[in-house]
Amino acid sequence: MSTGAIAGIGTDLLRVERIERIHARHGDRFVRRILGPEEQVVHQRRQARDPRRGILYLATRFAAKEAFSKAIGLGIHMPMTWSRAQILNRPGGAPEIRLSGPLADWYAVRFGQAHVSMTDETDMVAAFVVIEALPPGPHSKEDIA
């Protein structure tokens, strides 16, 4: 259910070469730190087909998680961690944010639906996230405070 009220907005713009440099230095350790388990599977498939597609996937997910962390007002601080927020594609291809662990619990009592949009070019990626407010009711943050 959509409330129409916006609780947060976040955006991130990132040079792909930054992710390339970090990936070249740290390899799979960086991938495991940034991507959740389901994202890692997608990344491996894309990386195997074309290393450039793997880097762009990693860069767009990095930017989307940065934008999400800004929209919820935490930055990358607990309970927000890179791997607890996965950006996966619905069957039709649209991206969605799936949360897990303590981040999912923390988010559920504070916010409604999250919307994410990502784009990539040869040298840049961008992400934009809009967080809806919770609909009025027993789970809104006013009732928890």
Task: List binding-site positions for Mg(2+).
Answer: 12, 66
Q: What are phi and psi of 99, to 5 degrees?
A: -105, 155
Token pair 């927000």: residue: 80
**HSE-up (13 A, CA, CB side) for residue 129:** 30
Reduced to 3 states (helix: H, G, I; strand: E, B; else coil), residue 138 is coil
Binding residues, as ranges, are 12, 66
